[in-house]
Amino acid sequence: MSELTRLSAAEIAGAIAVGEVSAEEVTRAHLDRIEQVDDVVRAFLHVDTDGALHAARRVDADRAAGRDLGPLAGVPLAMKDVVVTEGLPTTAGSKILEGWIPPYDATITRKIKDAGIVMLGKTNMDEFAMGSSTENSAFHPTHNPWDLGRIPGGSSGGSSAAVSAFEAPLGIGTDTGGSIRQPAAVTGIVGHKPTYGGVSRYGLIAFSSSLDQAGPFGRTVLDAALLHEVMGGHDPCDSTSIPQGVPPVAAAAREGAGADLTGVRVAVVQELGGEGYQPGVLAAFQEAVSTLRGLGATVLEVSCPHFDYALAAYYLIAPSECSSNLARFDGVRYGLRVGDDGVRSLEEVMSLTREAGFGPEVKRRIMIGTYALSSGYYDAYYGQAQKVRTLISRDFAAAFEQADVLVSPSSPFVAFGIGERVDDPMAMYVNDLCTLPASLAGTPAISVPCGLSEGLPVGLQVMAPALADDWCYRVAAAFEAAYVGTNGPLRAPELIGGAA
């Protein structure tokens, strides 16, 4: 494996900036790596070799011309296939969008391109971001580089696996109920879900509009922060985009790397632990809390009683919004069309298209959401879930009176075996127990690797108040510095030579 694929994004950008290596060389190294390992990892749905090389050469040309390069210029990136990319297939992991070539770029796609970041291709995901294992992809599962028999988390499992397997130093995921943080945790990388509205949703194929947020993956906290700064900021094309600029997350990551948390109040959330959590996960988490205390943090416990209802509320709100968001996939304008024989009615063609084009989990959620929004049920389900959401926000507000950040495991479990939970939706849904509260409250949260359990990565989740994403990065970076200083970085196996 080329050493270039081992470098962090910050290191790669630095090397390109001083001319030690060209962006094209970096891109080729990563394309080679994809070539070598992706038939076992299967992180990508579409590799854009020509587009990536073209983008890399442009960075090299810009540098040769003496033009200013952005802090991540020339750094390769794996893009989740839910983000719209002009001229490149975008499927959201679904058969129903197979063959659709978007005529426009998502705002974050444009920002990535403008920053000179090299998009290598589009990564696998649970269909329409619904799932926690990437097994709900309509195309194929993705394998965890730590153990190819296991899942890479989801729904952004393609991007997390790609970054973990050194196919790309950076990845973009989207997080609706934990789809960045849980895959980051189970593949041993860093993933951050920004404050809702902090990163534009324009061009994200919507699952649940009030919850969806795109965010960065990296193998280091600083890399994630650097990518966050490129992605974030107000977008007039997204009404829910907040006017505030991106918090100073890269500076916070650098500050945190000094490994000093003196005076920082860290609260452990009582409700996010205990029964139902794997002992190895809890042990790694306790160890992480000790480390934080060792860095000077004041550690306390808080109770957020309504977090217990987060799962129930989430599985009403997200399906309700998805039942409406996914209505447009009907075979009339783009994507799959089934049964259009000139005889069947419009309704039949729509119905056959949706029957054939959506997988079982998507159908399940459309059905749940359609039911929950129905006249006569709305108040009891959607309306009630929104009230729970408010109560969860109040729990957060009360907790943040006492603490600067809240911590928990990122997921109750380490990566489980492929196929282990596919027949039990509830067993799949509980993967999101730790991540749902911040999704429902729209507050930022990061997952940073905090050790191994049975040889598999465990993530530490750091949650901060809305707009205080920099606190997530600062605490995560301090923890990372301490952990790596003691244990060395967590790194997935080499995979070369048929590790499967």
Minimum Å distance from CB 328 to another protein? Answer: 5
237 and 107 Cβ atoms separated by less than 8 Å = yes
Residues near 135 by Cβ (< 8 Å), separated by ≥ 6? 126, 141, 151, 154, 418, 419, 422
CA gap 267, 402 in Å, rounded: 8
Which position among 94, 132, 155, 447 bears the catalytic label? 155
Residue position matching structure tokens 């999101």? 432
Spell out a b/e string for 402-428, using b for 16 or more CB atoms within 10 Å of the CB, else e. ebbbbbbbbbbbbbbebebbbeeeeeb
Q: Are 84 and 109 in contact (CB under 8 A)?
A: yes
- In angstroms, what is the minimal distance from the CB of 453 to another protein? 37
Strand partners, 446: 192, 462
CA distance 170 to 7: 11
| Relative orientation angle of helices 49-64 and 9-17, to the nearest 10 degrees | 50
Q: Which residues bind another protein (CB under 8 A)?
A: 83-84, 90, 92, 97, 100, 102-104, 106, 201-206, 208-210, 236-240, 320-321, 323-324, 327-330, 332-334, 345-347, 350, 370, 373-375, 378, 382
User: Which are the contacts of 363, defined by CB distance < 8 A and separation ≥ 6?
Assistant: none
Q: Is 179 a catalytic residue?
A: yes
Cα-Cα-Cα-Cα torsion 248, 259, 217, 301, nearest 10 degrees, comes to -90
Task: Give the amino acid at 50.
Answer: D
303 carries an active-site annotation: no
Q: How far apart are alpha carbons 111 and 335 in whole angstroms?
A: 26
* Best CA proximity match to 59, nearest among 9, 113, 133, 3: 113
Cα–Cα distances (Å) from 137 to 47, 56, 142, 160, 206, in that order, read 17, 30, 9, 15, 16
Q: Collect all residues with Cβ–Cβ distance below 8 Å to 421 and sequence separation of at least 6.
A: 133, 427, 428
Considering the complex, state which of residue 349 and residue 460 has its C-beta at the smaller distance from another protein: 349
**Alpha-carbon Rg for the chain in angstroms:** 21
> Is 80 among the catalytic positions?
yes
Q: CA dihedral in degrees (222, 223, 225, 230; nearest 10)?
A: 150
What is the rounded CA–CA span in Å between residue 278 and residue 276? 7
Q: What angle do CA 418, 422, 426 make, to 5 degrees?
A: 125
SS3 (DSSP) at 120 = strand
Nearest to 317 by CA among 211, 201, 229, 442: 211
Cross-strand bridge partners of residue 79? 122, 172
Active site residues: 80, 155, 179
